[in-house]
Amino acid sequence: MCAISGMINLPAPPKTVRQMLETMHRRGPDDRGVYREKGCTLLHGRLAIIDPEGGRQPMTLAWAGEEYTLVYNGELYNTEQLRYELSALGHSFLGHSDTEVLLHAYAQFGAACVEKLNGIFAFAMWEKNRGRLFLARDRIGVKPLFYKKHDGGLLFASEIKTILTYPTVRAELDENDAAQLILLGPGRLPGSGVFRGISELEPGCCGYFADGELRLCRYWKLMDREHRDSFDETVEKVRFLVTDAIRRQMVSDVPVGTFLSGGLDSSIITAVCAGEMAKKGERLKTFSVDYQNNDRYFQANRFQPNSDGSFIRLMTDVLQTDHHWTILGADELAQTLEEATVARDLPGMADVDFSLLAFCREIRQEVKVALSGECADEFFGGYPWYRDPEVRAREGFPWAQNTADRAAILTPAITLDPAEFVMDAYNQTCRESDILPGTADQERRMKQMVNLNFRWFMQTLLDRKDRMSMYHSLEVRVPFCDYRIAEYLYGVPWEFKDYQGQEKGLLRRAVEGLLPEAVLHRKKSPYPKTFDPRYEQLMESRLQTVLDDPAAPLWQIVSAEEVRKLLHRETQWPWYGQLMRRPQTIAYLCQIDFWLRHYSVELVF
């Protein structure tokens, strides 16, 4: 994995190049590269995983009368198949990196190359003679790519902070952007970078910048199709797709480990990886996180019915992994608030971010690549809101059923209608869901739910995983984001996914024999969080400090009087998802205040 950025038809003085490269160092600490040509400057910071010597970037190729230069962040999992196909067409290779294969694939197939890629990626390709830039992002949106049309040119980067470093770019927020922070946050509108004028290339999109114009298109989306496989055939197909994705994503020239929570998804990945490494006589490194005093304060609830410890120990005992625990305290979590906000460039998921950032720091001491279980719930229907008929039938984003509570804290300066703002975004996503004519009502709703989760909630989780891990130069791969799984599962009927009335019943059936029974049938439990009351006290104290400052920038967006009430009440619904209750909501508001200060954000409404 790496960091990429570039300036097209814009001045790129040496000082600006140095400053932009410095913002990319955490994502790419192993090497730096710069390409300069008339009208184009490309920058690259490398985290070397495959072919450390042969995969340096920017990488240039002369082919068929054109000169192509690539900067690329990602990993391809079908590199050898593509290399074989390209070799048959007359291409030859100097090394074994996926970067070189991608460069040749684009030279051969042009923009259509993206349809041949199985992987996670964001890349930019400069065509020197044509004087145009091609941008592309993977189908699922695992790897980020932001851009800004600026002074007739284009800026792009893996992270927003790199774009903000450009001297004439200002950190600004308009009314819609401010509304996103409160009414949708930590989610954001598809394609929005929140900062005014900064956009994100959406998953499954690509396009060209030429002659001052950026023309984008969507090359992939979730498409409905008639499901003709029997249940048993579906089980076999799912088992193949999942295990094949995991094995493909183990490719690396550096040590690989896995996140392990003792839940279904991470345990499947760990079991497959441990089996593959055992064939080579090696032990898999596994990693888990817990919190000081959770043994005293853990409280089971509908979202977290049990703690992880006993299930993790069962898995590590059965698989004989080289296991590593990270134990975090309340003070450490609170102290990570600022760092996590800077890592994301936006207010995030409070201590759900803070803990992952600290956890990834410890994992990076042992391995450079780790596989993680995100995104099975979106495609297999594992979240509570898939299964609760009342929530499922309710209009609005199911992970944020609290628009009225959010709207209550807005300042009068934000004059848009909160309910209309949220529902417009919700309804647009529902309308965009591809569903075959004649689909039954329940099946139609379940496909809408999948698309809502894919376009919104899952993107927030992928943002979190990418930024928190890459801040510590740790490459995290997510096998359940293999686009083949997404495509296939979108067409699978809900009655199959809900096999035996159990969450992710189809997936559980598909991996029978791979896991201990206790883990195979464990009820879903999300990423662990602290239950230590000290953390809540620390966040309350921090928010009180903000409340004591009438000039705090937070009060440009929300009402201090209404926020003060948050210190003394719990709302019916979490602020966001399953984990963001009152302490996390308080922390989120503290993140917004810090973010406004740190980035010197100017409100322009």
- Residue 548 located in a structural domain: no
Domain boundary (186, 218, 250) is at: 218
Does one domain contain both 7 and 156?
yes
What is residue 342's predicted lDDT score, i.e. its pLDDT?
98
Half-sphere exposure of 451 (CA within 13 A, CB side): 22
What is residue 160's predicted lDDT score, i.e. its pLDDT?
98
Taking phi over 0 as left and psi of -120 to 50 as alpha, with beta for the rest, 79 belongs to alpha
What is residue 578's predicted lDDT score, i.e. its pLDDT?
84
Q: What is the CATH number of the domain that holds 212?
A: 3.60.20.10
Q: What is the pLDDT of residues 518-546, one digit of tens each?
A: 999 998 877 888 889 999 999 999 999 99
Does one domain contain both 203 and 302?
no
d(Cα 207, Cα 201) in Å, to the nearest integer? 9
Helix (H, G, I), strand (E, B) or coil at 455: helix
What is residue 302's predicted lDDT score, i.e. its pLDDT?
64
224, 236, 333 from 229: Cα distances, Å: 14, 10, 47
What is residue 301's predicted lDDT score, i.e. its pLDDT?
65
What is residue 215's predicted lDDT score, i.e. its pLDDT?
98
Question: Which sign, positive or negative, has the C-alpha torsion 406, 412, 414, 415?
Answer: positive
Does one domain contain both 237 and 192?
no
Q: What is the CATH number of the domain that holds 340?
A: 3.40.50.620
Burial 343-361 (b: 16+ CB within 10 A, else e): bbbbbbbbbbbbbbbbbbb
Extract the residue ranges of the chain whose pLDDT is less than 70.
1, 300-306
Instruction: Examine the residue annotation and report whether 360 is marked as an active-site residue of this protein.
Output: no
Q: What is the pLDDT of residues 436-475, one digit of tens each?
A: 999 999 999 999 999 999 999 999 999 999 999 999 999 9
Q: Which of 2, 40, 113, 273 is catalytic?
A: 2
Domain boundary (502, 520, 538) is at: 520
Q: Which one-letter DSSP state was computed for residue 504?
A: T
- Residue 583 located in a structural domain: no
d(Cα 179, Cα 195) in Å, to the nearest integer? 12
What is residue 303's predicted lDDT score, i.e. its pLDDT?
62
What is residue 300's predicted lDDT score, i.e. its pLDDT?
65
Does one domain contain both 180 and 289?
no
DSSP bridge pairs for 146: 157, 200
Chain centroid offset of residue 146 CA:
13
What is residue 528's predicted lDDT score, i.e. its pLDDT?
81
Q: Which one-letter DSSP state was computed for residue 254?
A: S
Does one domain contain both 210 and 248?
no
**CB burial of residue 117 (10 Å; 0-12, 13-18, 19+):** buried
Domain region containing 190: 2-218
**How many folded domains does the chain comprise?**
2
